[in-house]
Amino acid sequence: ETGVTQTPRHLVMGMTNKKSLKCEQHLGHNAMYWYKQSAKKPLELMFVYSLEERVENNSVPSRFSPECPNSSHLFLHLHTLQPEDSALYLCASSQSHRSNSPLHFGNGTRLTVT
């Protein structure tokens, strides 16, 4: 049990599809994050939510749409993606988005856009 669960583990989608990634944390944390991990690049922060309110949007294209219905769940809605969006998408949580508290990551969703 990782504390942060992501589904699906793998996703293949066409450029015209619409899909959603799901993340759930069982740690009682108040902040949740979406990161993108591409080959040979640092982890890229996409979105930060604190108590269901978005506090950071890192110039992410609008084809990525986050949703945080409560402090335990986070979604990333995908539509009309490009092949360069293929990557590992990691969800994470922490006690607070303001404090320098450790991040707890999920296992990620490996996304392939064809």
- Residues engaged in binding another protein (CB under 8 A): 2, 4, 40-43, 45, 48, 56, 90, 97-98, 100, 102-108
Q: Which is nearer to another protein, 71 or 109 (CB)?
A: 109
Question: In angstroms, what is the minimal distance from the CB of 22 to another protein?
Answer: 15
Q: Which is nearer to another protein, 60 or 103 (CB)?
A: 103
Q: Which is nearer to another protein, 23 or 78 (CB)?
A: 23
Please name the residue that has the structure tokens 């990551």: 105
Give SS3 for 83: helix
Q: Which amino acid is at 19?
A: K
- The 3-class secondary structure across 49-79, one letter per residue, is EECCEEEEECCCCCCEEEEEEECCEEEEEEE
Question: In angstroms, what is the minimal distance from the CB of 107 to another protein?
Answer: 5
Q: Which amino acid is at 14?
A: G
